[in-house]
Chain A
Amino acid sequence: MERRTLPGRLSWQLGEVLATQAETARTKSIRLSLPTGMGHRAGQHVDVRLTAEDGYQAERSYSIASPPEETPHVTLTVERLDDGEVSPYLTEELRAGDKLELRGPIGGYFVWEARMGGPLLLVAGGSGIVPLMAMLRHRAAVGSSVATRLLYSSRSYQDVIYRDELERLGKSSTMLEVVQTLTRVHPPGWTGYARRIDTQMLREVAWPLEQHPLMFICGPTPFVETAATSLVALGHDPARIKTERFGPTGEA
């Protein structure tokens, strides 16, 4: 497993919201300007801290969606959890001109930089696309030609985050293939997959074993378990598979 030491202390910064943009009915992107930038690598996340007027605070972690090349701006994409304490504020209350406290970058393992090469397999479930989008945007920003496949699972066409941008990215680079699956409903004429991710799908989309792809999987826990276990069963090297899991958290 590779290592990289991040020196110094992670200080809280007060960013200013430049714009917000609805990505789907449940997710919103928040573009911020930071006093000193973030200095992140694609795949990392930040801690966000909200403070009420009486001093009460709540903290959560969110993935960075923007590439390092956009510094000193960063974009977070946040999915609203109905029973959440922080995400409803970020997706419904926060608006341009507001300030937001954050610190980072955090997490030095689930990271891709163009110089790490590929071929690259990115596997996303729902809002698990966010850190992988930072990788795709970084790849585009530096003009990388690393052969890349994205397998992205969403419930429905309306739930596909970054839908237009993914289509543009896929058309603009012959070295990038965007493969989608819709697990619940799909529009008439849908030509992508229409089921939950499984070993057969990964067999079709993942790179041949002899190409030793670098694999990143992000999504809800059962999704990540299925994808990672399938890739290992297909014979891929576990050390080349990096995962990031997030809630919902119900324990079985």
Chain B
Amino acid sequence: MSEGFFSRGFRGRRKPSDVAGRLPPGQYLERGFPVLSAGPTPHTPLERWDFSIAGQVHEPKRWTWQELLALPHETPTVDISCVTKWTKFDTHWEGVSLETLLGQVDYDPTVARYVIAFSDGGYTTNLPLADVLGGQAWVAFSYEGQPLSPEHGGPARLLVPHLYFWKSAKWVRGLRLVDHDEPGFWESLGYHNYGDPWKEERYQGD
């Protein structure tokens, strides 16, 4: 609607081409790690913590903290993009892939086509099943070589770096497999249902 418009006197800070090419549209490069959450930080003791997969599965499965840690770890290095405009390059994580976790559950992928991640504090987010398989998503418990801090979602958060970071649910406690898509917390509050940063899918209708 604003063809030809420019902001009088604005020059901006051009990014080097190697940075610009790696930044999704509308994002800027952040060196810190901003914290965004809608409510108080939950503090669930590890001895009471578990991760479960339920819903459209033949038998629900749950892992204690120790059982989760005993599964094969992966150490993804990824760029992450928050819908609030910041992108951080080369973040180092350690966690268990959802491929590994879902591999221990008996379900029909032609039926359970979506997952709802749920967290302590009541947060939820929805993802297509196909987006959490194939080494695209993890339950991460370590960031930059340290246990994940509570403000950043510790003891464990989802890590789905190819989507805006609200999909990487903090304080995650499990997945519910469902046969139909249902919007999660932010997806019900005007944010995009899928959230691809490269298509700038920030809000409903983008």
Contact = CB atoms under 8 A, between A and B. Distances in A.
Contact of B5 (A7, A101, A221): A101
A241 B5 CA distance: 41
A50 B85 CA distance: 13
A4 B189 contact: yes
Nearest to A35: B1
Contact of A107 (B7, B9, B189): B189
Interface in A99-114: 99-101, 106-110
Interface in A101-157: 101, 106-110
B1 A13 contact: yes
Contacts of B26: 49, 57, 59
A27 B151 CA distance: 28
A168 interface: no
Given A1-B122, A52-B11, A108-B190, A228 B32 contact: no
Contacts of A229: 40-41
B170 to A, nearest CB: 12
Interface residues of A, number: 58
Contact of B34 (A9, A221, A242): A221
B36 interface: yes
A187 interface: no
Nearest to A111: B189
Contacts of A55: 6
A248 B30 CA distance: 11
A9 B206 contact: yes
B19 to A, nearest CB: 13
A203 interface: no
Given A59-B26, A250-B32, A243 B190 contact: no
B202 to A, nearest CB: 8
Contacts of B6: 51-53, 55
Interface string A1-33: 101111111111110000000000000000000
Given A51-B6, A108-B190, A251-B33, A58 B28 contact: yes
A85 B39 CA distance: 29
Nearest to A97: B8
Contact of A89 (B10, B36, B189, B203): B10
A109 B5 contact: no
A192 to B, nearest CB: 25
Nearest to A231: B40
B103 interface: no
B12 A14 contact: no
B190 A98 contact: no
Given A221-B151, A225-B151, A243-B37, A9 B205 contact: yes
Interface string A195-221: 000000000000000000000000001
Contacts of A50: 7, 10, 12
A238 interface: yes
Nearest to A248: B32
A7 B190 CA distance: 7
Nearest to A48: B7
Interface string B1-27: 110011111111110000000000010
A221 B13 contact: no
Interface in B155-206: 185-186, 188-190, 202-206
Given A53-B6, A61-B85, A238 B205 contact: no
Nearest to A100: B7
A84 B39 CA distance: 27
A188 interface: no
28 contacts: A1-B122, A4-B189, A9-B204, A9-B206, A51-B10, A53-B6, A56-B12, A58-B10, A58-B12, A89-B10, A93-B8, A93-B9, A93-B10, A94-B9, A99-B5, A106-B203, A108-B189, A238-B39, A238-B40, A239-B39, A241-B39, A247-B34, A249-B30, A249-B31, A249-B32, A249-B33, A249-B34, A251-B32
Given A93-B10, A245-B35, 7 more contacts: A11-B1, A52-B6, A59-B26, A221-B151, A228-B39, A228-B41, A238-B40
Interface of B: 1-2, 5-14, 26, 28, 30-42, 84-86, 121-123, 149, 151, 185-186, 188-190, 202-206
